[in-house]
Amino acid sequence: MKSFAKTVVSKLSEKQAAAELERLAHEISGHDKAYYQNDAPEISDAEYDQLRKRNNDIEKRFPSLVRPDSPNLRVGAAPVDKFEKVKHRRPMLSLDNAFDDEDIVEFCNRIRRFLNLSEDAAVVVTAEPKIDGLSASLRYEGGKFVQGATRGDGEIGEDITQNLRTIRDIPLVLKSPKVPDVVEVRGEVYMSHRDFERLNARQARDNQPVFANPRNAAAGSLRQLDARITAQRPLRFFAYAWGEMSEQPADTQMGTLKQFAKWGFSVNELTVQCKSVDEILSTYSLIESKRAELGYDIDGVVYKINNLEWQERLGFVSRSPRWAIAHKFPAEKAQTVLKDIEIQVGRTGTLTPVARLSPVTVGGVVVSNATLHNEDEIDRKDIRIGDTVVVQRAGDVIPQVVSVVLEKRKPKSKKYVFPDHCPVCGSKAVRSINPKTGVPDAARRCTGAMTCPAQSVERLKHFVSRNAFDIEGLGAKQIVRFHDEGIIGEPADIFTLEERNGMDFEPLQEREGWGETSVSNLFAAIDERRTISMERFVFALGIRHIGDTIASLLARTYGTFDNLYSSLLQARDENSPARSELVSIDGIGEVVALSMVEFFSEEHNTSAVDRLLKQVVVEAAELPQSDSPVAGKTVVFTGTLEKMTRSEAKAKAESLGAKVSGSVSSKTDYVVAGPGAGSKLKKAQELNVSVLTEDEWMTLTK
Ligand code: IVH
């Protein structure tokens, strides 16, 4: 094609201008790549600016010719008030962690067991650095970047398209030849050490706050409501995973990453394949040895099963895939003085000791608090106030006190005595004895229950937390204030805040820090949550042992909150069918069942739930893949399965919306019986439950 690089802008014809814009887009993006990805600029900054200026001038003269991959689309759009929510079409998962070689051996064995492979079958994985940044999902339609989102809670993230557009490592248009209609590339946004230093120097010069580490700097830069600020921050991106894909470009992890690179993404160059545990461990050592010279932060190595069909079969548990694991680098350590031990009271009354430390930098972050776990831990390590202690911090986990430096202990130090009363309400704090084992619980608990303000405020904080009601503008800080002032005492009070505003208490809009707009935004955000999914609702109740995984299992099993509620009321009777149904749910043990029943046996709990139900509507649970013939059905597997392992069968059934139970009852829809089936098969026949062979089951769930 003829070049018009020398023609002055005012003389360009429309056709020539289009050709010039195309050339400039490619040339500028090539220079961006040289600069940002390879750290090897090929032209001077002034020459680069010339290219940018020429591009701008042409775009100004021919606005209709602005390309979807125009370099200008990286300068940042106008600020927004808040980020819109984006529902991920496929959840954004996180990773399970491995800390030592044993964990890796177990990972490979678990995969062999799950897929029923022989002990010596090769398990091929990819190994790549675990980048210490923030994950993001990028959606392309027809090859064009249309939406970018943060991970959020894994289900719903925030729309940060405009911010992501400014990152030069992220292609705005995917390079052909073959690009599927829908492509969602996921990866990590991060900042290099050099860029981080430069940014902090600039911040300091401009009297702006400096960032503690590159990860915080990347996070702070990416979540700017004004994308023009993001555009000035040197962010980068590595692609390592994907979400929805209308077509899979390869049948392996490695092949897919290679395709990503061809489409124009940066894929970490240390990514390799490993065929054995030995190869995995030597790759780990190799990457660890390069850690210091990489120029960006990594905190471990991630292994992923290379075969995508296996990935599919392995599926995921809770929020992590079974087919991947993060092998973390050892935690960083430092010494400091333990100034005090503070006791915090959690939502279920647990007294948790927290170390107040002289601030110390551990792995680039200033630490002044650390967890001491519990009473026995303090006792075992003989940790005393005034001691010099070793503190460690690994990735995003809470820092911990590892040990005491005895040589530095003061001669007059005294053994720490753990309080036996709640520091907040003064009630007795006790350690209950596990009835089965006779061993005392690790935790000492305040017996004040509803009367303990610490517990009620923690319950409320939990109620509004991210995986629960997640009310915008009503976070932990506001909850504490409203609780202390007696405005919100229990969850239902949140939903009557508006009608009580200015009646029971001074109008919010007249308080310091609140204006008309923020108050009406708060009420709108509360109203938005008057309809809530069942799993969030169950999780929000803050029942001991009921995390988000169990909450969602309960939602899928019982379908509606009414159903769960009435079953739990019946389950108070130990011999009721409702009780046996509850404990027969695969994934719910005695402890969880008992905790649920106990909660619903307390009148003050049920009345608080009833008051809340007057304010909110709990949606029926969404059953996954409701078009499957087994959706909503209860299945029991018994005998030996030959085509798949028990875990695989269970995971598959659940992914199709079936409930897997461990015992046969009149509520069972199918019993899948393999060779050697005994009492369960007999019971099924007695109760007239359909019995399927493994093959029949496979056909049904195809
Ligand atoms: S894969 C389906 N690969 O680590 C698995 N994650 O602890 C999705 N991360 O949320 C993650 N480097 O933010 C994967 N090479 C890598 C990674 C990586 C960093 C982050 C990511 C994820 C977190 C999980």
| Best probe residue, ligand 1, of 92, 97, 99, 131 (max atoms within 8 Å of C-beta) | 131
The active-site residue out of 6, 85, 87, 130 is 130
Is residue 86, in this structure, part of any structural domain at all?
Answer: no
pLDDT of 264 > 80? The answer is yes
* Residue at 393 is within a domain: yes
- The DSSP element (H or E) to which 368 belongs, if any, is strand 365-371
What is the pTM assigned to this prediction?
A: 0.72
- Cα separation, 106 vs 109, whole angstroms: 5
Q: Are 515 and 508 in contact (CB under 8 A)?
A: no
| Secondary structure element (H or E) that encloses residue 319, with its range | none
Residues 309 and 380 in one domain: no
Confidence of residue 396 (pLDDT cuts 50, 70, 90): low
Q: Both tokens of residue 319?
A: 């929020």
Tell me, using a 6 A CB cutoff, whether residue 12 lines ligand 1.
no
Mean pLDDT computed over every residue of the chain? 91
Q: Is residue 444 part of a domain?
A: no
Higher pLDDT: 211 or 284? It is 284
Q: At what angle do helices 101-115 and 646-655 cross, to 10 degrees?
A: 80
List the residue whose alpha carbon is closest to atom 16 of ligand 1: 130
Q: Are residues 611 and 696 in the same domain?
A: no
Identify the H or E element spanning 463: helix 453-463
Q: Write the CATH number for 608.
A: 1.10.150.20
pLDDT at 130: 97
Quick one: pLDDT at residue 512?
A: 84
- Looking at the structure, tell me whether residues 287 and 190 fall in a common domain: yes
Which pair of tokens denotes residue 427?
């009630």
pLDDT in tens, 517-545: 999 999 999 999 999 999 999 999 999 99
Cα-to-centroid distance, 95 and ligand 1 (Å): 6
Is the same domain home to 123 and 175? yes
Residue 424 belongs to some domain of the structure: no
**pLDDT tens-digit readout, 97-131:** 998 999 999 999 999 999 999 888 899 999 999 99
Answer yes or no: is pLDDT of 68 > 90: no
Q: Is any ligand 1 atom within 6 A of the Cβ of residue 240? A: yes
pLDDT at 16: 94
204 and 306 together in one domain: yes
Are 224 and 317 in the same domain?
A: yes
Per DSSP, the residues of 549-610 read HHHHHHHHHH-SHHHHHHHHHHTTSTTSHHHHHHHHBTT--HHHHHHHHHHHH-HHHHHHHH
> Is ligand 1 within 6 A of the CB of residue 638?
no
Ligand 1 pocket residue status of 586, Cβ below 6 Å: no
Ligand 1 contact, 190 CB (< 6 A): no
Distance CA 262, CA 1 (A): 23
- What does the block give as tokens for 118? 């022989």
Parent domain of 13: 9-74
**Coil, strand or helix at 25:** helix
pLDDT one-digit tens code per residue, 552-569: 989 988 999 999 999 999
Q: Are 486 and 509 in contact (CB under 8 A)?
A: no
Spatial contact of 28 and 55, defined as CB atoms under 8 Å apart: yes
Instruction: Tell whether ligand 1 has an atom less than 6 A from the beta carbon of residue 298.
Output: no
Which residues, 6+ apart, have CB-to-CB distance to 38 below 8 Å? none
Task: Tell me whether residue 443 is in a domain.
Answer: no
Band of residue 626 on the pLDDT scale cut at 50, 70, 90: low
Per-residue pLDDT band at 39 (split at 50, 70, 90): low
Asked if residue 574 and residue 683 are part of one domain, the reply reads no
CB environment 617-631: b (16+ within 10 A), e (fewer): ebbebebeeeebebe
pLDDT at 645: 83
In a shared domain, residues 276 and 202: yes
Q: Which atom of ligand 1 is nearest to the CA of 97?
A: 7
Q: In ligand 1, which atom is closest to the CA atom of 132?
A: 19
pLDDT value for 464: 95
pLDDT at 1: 59
608/638 same-domain check: no
- 388-412: average pLDDT: 89
What are the pLDDT digits (tens) for 280-325? Answer: 999 999 999 999 899 999 999 999 999 999 999 999 887 899 999 9
Quick check: 625 pLDDT over 60? no
H or E stretch covering 536: helix 534-540
- Quote the distance between the C-alpha of residue 170 and its chain's center: 22
Give the mean model confidence (pLDDT) for residues 388-401: 85
The predicted pLDDT at position 624 comes to: 59
Question: Within 13 A of 642's CA, how many CA atoms are on the CB side?
Answer: 9
Least confident among 90-94, 191-195, 360-364, 471-475 = 360-364
CA-based nearest residue to 132, from 467, 308, 393: 393
Q: Identify which of 137, 150, 240 to mutate to test ligand 1's pocket (most ligand atoms within 8 A of the CB).
A: 240
Q: Has residue 247 been placed in a domain?
A: yes
pLDDT in tens, 463-481: 999 899 999 999 999 999 9
Closest CA to 226 of 162, 318, 314, 174: 162
**454-463 pLDDT per residue, tens:** 999 999 999 9
The CATH number covering residue 650 comes to 3.40.50.10190
Q: Give the model confidence (pLDDT) of 167-204 as tens digits.
A: 989 999 998 778 999 999 999 999 999 999 999 999 99
Ligand 1 mutation target, pool 93, 135, 242, 270, most atoms within 8 A of CB: 135
Query: How much is the average pLDDT of 487-516?
Result: 92
Whether residues 695 and 563 share a domain: the answer is: no
Reported as a single tens digit per residue, the pLDDT across 600-621 is 998 889 999 999 999 999 999 8
Inter-residue contact 131 to 190 (CB < 8 Å): yes
**394 Cβ below 6 A of ligand 1:** no
> Do 45 and 105 belong together in one domain?
no
CATH number for 156: 3.30.470.30
Number of domains in the chain: 6
262, 295, 328: which is the final residue of a domain?
328
- Let me know whether 299 and 350 are in one domain: no
Q: Check if 333 is active-site.
A: no
pLDDT above 70 covers a percentage of the chain that reads: 98
Q: Using N-to-C axis directions, what is the helix angle for 603-613 and 590-601, rounded to 10°?
A: 80
Instruction: Give me the mean pLDDT over the 498-520 stretch.
Output: 90
